[in-house]
Amino acid sequence: MKLAEFNTADRARAAETLRPCVDVQRWVDTVAAARPFPSREALLAFAAGAAEPFTPAEVESAMAHHPRIGERPTAATTEASMSRSEQAGVDPADAGVAQALAQGNKDYEDKFGRVFLIRAAGRTAPEILQALNERLANSPAEEDTIVAQQLREIAVLRLEGLITE
């Protein structure tokens, strides 16, 4: 969607555009209400600021929509399409990496009670696996901070992919 179209869309359409970036109602409402933006850069900067910080409840809600790393969602939604694209660096045909990610995901979920979240875009499978293994050593409080940051990065990256000048 072009920035001009986003700026002039009715609030429901703007919210519909924003929601796949991160399903946090406060963030969606805040960004939609701040329109019009003079530039794409201004939109992205505002969106990043509006995501700082996400509350624990907002993180939990948004996490409900994120698949495990290495598992490609099959739904035909915008969010699923974004997730498949973001995980392009993870080759599901690489059995060794797939097995290591599956075990790491299980260990992470056992420890933290949620799926492992990382901004996968631009990262290779070995980089993701290394981050997963390193983050398993974190405390729950440390991990809460990292997950919220990763969620913010994902939201802005997705918005960047959706809005053009």
**160: nearest Cα among 65, 98, 85, 91:** 85
Mean pLDDT, to the nearest integer, of 58-70?
83
pLDDT, position 77 = 65
Q: Tell me what pLDDT residue 69 has.
A: 77
Average pLDDT, the chain: 89
Instruction: Report how far apart, in Å, the C-alpha atoms of 18 and of each of 76, 100, 119, 138 are.
Output: 17, 33, 18, 31
Compare 151 and 69 and report the one with higher pLDDT.
Answer: 151
Q: What architecture is domain 3-162?
A: Orthogonal Bundle (1.10)
- Residue 156 has a pLDDT of 96
pLDDT tens for each residue of 19-50: 999 999 999 999 999 999 999 999 999 999 99
Instruction: Enter the pTM of the model.
Output: 0.85
**Helix extents (H) in 11-124:** 11-18, 25-33, 40-50, 56-63, 78-86, 95-112
Over residues 66-101, the pLDDT tens digits come to 777 777 655 556 665 565 565 655 666 678 888 999
- How many percent of the chain have pLDDT more than 70? 86
Q: What is the pLDDT of residue 131?
A: 97
Decide: 60 and 23 in contact? Cβ < 8 Å.
no
Asked whether the beta carbons of 148 and 54 are under 8 A apart, the reply is: yes
CA distances from 93 to 3, 69, 96, 99, 113 (A): 38, 14, 9, 10, 27
Domain ranges of the chain: 3-162
pLDDT attached to residue 68: 78
Q: 112: which 2 tokens?
A: 């933290």
CA dist 77 and 130 (Å) reads 29
